[in-house]
Structures are given as structure tokens and as C-alpha cells.
Structure 1
Amino acid sequence: MKIGIGTYALFWEFQDVNPRPLGVAGMIDRAAELGCEVFQICDDPRILGEDAAGLRALRSRAEGHGIELELGTRGIDPEHLARFVDMAGALGARTLRSMVQAPEIADGVGTAARALRRTLPRLEAAGVTLALETYEQLPTADLLALVEELDSPLVGICLDPANCVSALEHPRQVVESCAPRTADLHVKDFRFTREEGWVGFRYAGAPIGEGLLDLDHELRSVYPPGHRRAEDGAPAAIVEHWLPWQGDLPTTLAAERDWTARTLTALRDWRAAHTD
């Protein structure tokens, strides 16, 4: 179980509201400062602006810190995935996270599976595993059916139960159904709060341990005793957040950094208590 952070743990560090946004290289440095073993570059369009030399520089920077890189995008179009598999290879990333968009599976699991089969040879050649994320646009049962139809060790699930709540799926059930196929894990807490006036609810992130995520259940499901204990075979646990704007940038950044530190501590404490 390797522990790290992703772009969504640094969300407010690179938004336009920040006059000194953190670049991808700076994010890798931040992950190193936090003692992470992995950094996931996820849904960050700036990576598309890097040429071959830029990708090599990021890889070298990460390797210098002893950090493994992962890459993230959205969609399963073969040409799109081909570009990201090549970038993953240039970065030394062994895991590529993506998301099946609703229109891509509108014609059924079989059609999506045929599209993904075109990517399998490229994944194999690059030594990259594709992790398809759970989220509200796609029922978890359909995502599992897709992964099972492909039946490839190179295609698994990026488990994020928080994403599925808005589709009225219970996080515990999502975790238990997806754990055996999980190739990557996003860790963030979440909760509902009443809107002012008691009309409706707000669904957003929460500090770890203060929301609805049963972290112990999630981790026990993905990392059961005696199963995939070897570091090379276990999914990485990647910290993310859904942190709402806190009124001003300094307060928001302070909260984001605090949430990250608390989640990393919780993951490390769990790993220490459950390492054979």
C-alpha cells in the first residue's frame, strides 16, 4: 500500500484565484515535502502542454524525490487514450486513471468494451494499467460489467465511493463490489449538511474522520490481510478533497493543507497497524 496525493488534494493551489499557482513540478515537490510515495497528475490540462523534454524533466524530478507518478484523464476514445498511455510511459507512470463518459456507454457495455480492447495492446506495450473511476454518470454495476467483460489484468477500477452517492448508491456497497477489481484508490471524506433555511442539502467534502466515509472498511476491503501485500501489486491510496471555498484564499489553502495532512496521517497510521 503506497500512499500519495493527487492534483485534487492541491485544487486551490493552482486555480485562477491563486496569484501564485503551483505548477506540476511544484506539486511533485509538495508531495515530496509531505513524504508521499506517489503523486497522481489527474485532470490537469497543463500536462498536455508538456513536450517530450518537459515530460522527461517531470519524470526525473519525481525519481529524484523517490516518487512514483500516476496520470489521469477522462474518456475511453482509443486515440485519446493512446496519447495518454504514451505520456504515462514518458512519465514512468504505471497507472492511468480515466472515466467512462455517459455517451461512451450509451450503446451498451459491449460497445465500450470494443473501444477499450483497441487500447489493450498499447497498455501492454507500455506496462500501464488503466483504472476506470466509479462516479455518478455510470452505475457501478455497469462499470463492473465492463471491466469483467474485458477480463484483463491491465484494466481495473479506480475506486472513489464519494462520487457515487449523488446517484443514490451506498458507499459501503460500492466499496465491497469494486474492491476485488480495484487498481487505484481515491481517499476523501464527504458529508451532507443542511442548507441555510433548512431547505435542501449540500454535499461536499469533509475532514477525514468527520464525514460519512468508513475509512477502515474501505481500506480493509481493498487491502485485506494476506492479499496483494507486495507493494508492486497493491493499488496506491491517493488523497483527494472536495473542499469548498472558505471565503478567502489564505483560509482555503490552510484548510486544504490541514485536510491533506490529516488524511495522510490516517492512512499511515492504518498501514502501520495492518502491516504484517
Structure 2
Amino acid sequence: MQLGISTYTYGWAVGIPGDFSYQRLNEQGLLDKAEQLGVRLVQFGDNLPLHTLSVDRLTALGHRARKQKTGLEIGARGLTDDRTEQYLGLCKKLRVKLLRFVIDTDTYEPPVATVIAILKNALPALVKTGVTLGIENHDRLLAREFAHIIEQVGSNQVGICLDSVNSMGAGEGLHEVVRTLAPYTVNLHLKDFGIKRLPHLMGFQIDGRPAGQGMLNIPWLVEEVSRYGRCQTAVLEQWVVPDENREATIAKENEWAIESIKYLTGLRFSV
């Protein structure tokens, strides 16, 4: 399984929704990060939507990635026929073989039947291009619903992008989610986390930790997913707890990434 980084490794530096008041980490900067960390895989998520880049920037991205021998994976949010077709075109342009999708947007939550129909419509193009589409387990649907989608589509070209924390938002624990979705997993999001009781004792808070320093049993997770032989890549994602200002938060995010990749490269990953 190849290890890589993502735009969600540097979520604060890439930019959070609605905050465009500073010079954000762009696609070339992310390739710089990969080079500095010694990894050869970069996944672009919906927080840096590639369909908004100019043709020149996309061309430069593909050229740079090939020159430094860095594989690319791309992702989008909002699973529709048009958006799927658009991103398959980007896969072709950038020589990408994994396309990760979050189904929903803030204003779009299609029923499961619609999701299945869209994925079936995309199958001929996926087969023709050799692209695998991974649906991310976000927090509206339960793991069994994601499994149902994949079973109904019935193709190895469609699987699950398994995130280690997202399903907590749907009230599901990691072991339950992994037991259900590991057989379909084509891409893994490694996001370590901590859970602590709030000072007033009325509830818990879930937030991020550097990889290997939280509650996520990463060796176990990798072993469980690897058993099925479908998952070829794993990318580091981070929920970095914000500091007193943006600059300090971004600096912490960078430190966490260095610590996390150092830990992860000691496991069963290739770089």
C-alpha cells in the first residue's frame, strides 16, 4: 500500500470554507510538501477543487508530478452525472487512476437509489479509462448503506474511500465501520483522533492528533483493509486543533504532518 499526503493533510493551509483572506497553499505547494516529506503520492480533495484551475495550471501540475515521479489522485464533492463526467476528464488529463467522491454538498443530498444510478451510468467510462471511483464514507449515510451502494453497482471499478473518523458523525464506531466496509475499500484516509470529556462533564469532544499519537490503531486498520487486496493507497489526513492564530495553526499543521509521516513510514507502507 502506497503512502501519500492530501489537501486534507494541510486543511488549514489550503483554506477552510469562506476564508480567502490570505495566500493559501496551492497545487504546486502541495507537490513541494510531498517532495520534502519523501512521499510520491498526492491526493487532491474537494477543498482544492481541480475543476476550478486553468488549463495552464492543470498542465503544469501534471508535468511537475510526472517529472518528480509523484502519483496523483483527485477528488470531488457532489456526485452527479455531470460532475462525474467532468472529473473523469480530469483523470484522463492528469493520468489519474483513483477518483474519490463525497456524495453530498451543503445543498445536495441524493437518495441512495440516485447514487446507485449515477454510479452505474459512470461504469462504461470507468471501465474504458481504467479509473477506480471511491465513495467516501461521509457522515449522512450508515456503513451498511455505503456497502449496499457498492453491492448494487457490482463492479470492481467502484469501491469505498474509507475515512477513519467520518462515520462517527453518523453514530458509528470504527470497528463496526471497518468490519462492514473494509472488503470494498480502494483508498484509505488515515486520520488519527482523540476523544476527551469536556470540563463541565456534559459531553465529549472529538478532535485530531498526529498519526500514532491518538486513539486510532493504525497497524490494525491497515492490516484489516489489506486483507482484501483492493486498497492500493493510503493518505494522511489531519484534523489539526487550531492555535491562537492562523500562522500558528498552519505551523502546527506542518509539524504534525512531519511527525505523522515519520511514524507512518515505519509501518507497512511504501513511499
Larger helix fraction of residues? 1
Is residue 10 of structure 2 the alignment partner of residue 4 of structure 1? Answer: no
Deviation by residue 1:171-227 (Cα, 9 ceiling, x = unmatched) = 012112211211110001112223343333222111223322111110101123xx6
Q: 206, 219, 222: which one pairs with 1:219?
A: 222
Unaligned runs of 5+ in 1: none
State the match for 1:115 in structure 2.
Answer: 118
2:193 partner letter: F
Q: TM-score, normalised by structure 2?
A: 0.90
State the match for 1:173 in structure 2.
Answer: 176
Q: Aligned runs of 1:1-276 on 2, under 5 Å?
A: 1-15=1-15, 16=19, 19-101=22-104, 103-105=109-111, 109-224=112-227, 228=229, 234-271=231-268
Q: TM-score, normalised by structure 1?
A: 0.88
Provide the C-alpha distance between the structure 2 equivalents of 1:126 and 1:260, rounded to a whole number of angstroms. 33
Question: Aligned-pair distance for 1:257?
Answer: 1.6
Question: Aligned-pair distance for 1:14?
Answer: 2.7
Provide the C-alpha distance between the structure 2 equivalents of 1:219 and 1:130, rounded to a whole number of angstroms. 20
Q: Percent identity?
A: 30
Unaligned runs of 5+ in 2: none
Provide the C-alpha distance between the structure 1 equivalents of 2:49 and 2:82, rounded to a whole number of angstroms. 19
Computed over aligned residues only, the root mean square deviation of the Cα atoms, in angstroms, reads 2.0
Question: Aligned-pair distance for 1:103?
Answer: 2.5
Provide the C-alpha distance between the structure 2 equivalents of 1:165 and 1:19, rounded to a whole number of angstroms. 32
The answer (yes or no) to whether the contact 1:18–1:249 under 8 Å persists in 2 is no
The answer (yes or no) to whether the contact 2:207–2:239 under 8 Å persists in 1 is yes
Provide the C-alpha distance between the structure 1 equivalents of 2:67 and 2:34, rounded to a whole number of angstroms. 12
Cα distance change of structure 1 residues 45 and 259 upon mapping to structure 2, 3 Å threshold? closer
Q: What is the aligned length?
A: 264
Provide the C-alpha distance between the structure 1 equivalents of 2:119 and 2:42, rounded to a whole number of angstroms. 25
2:241 partner letter: P
The answer (yes or no) to whether the contact 1:86–1:126 under 8 Å persists in 2 is no
95-104 vs 147-156, which deviates more? 95-104
Provide the C-alpha distance between the structure 1 equivalents of 2:56 and 2:26, rounded to a whole number of angstroms. 16
Provide the C-alpha distance between the structure 2 equivalents of 1:204 and 1:140, rounded to a whole number of angstroms. 21
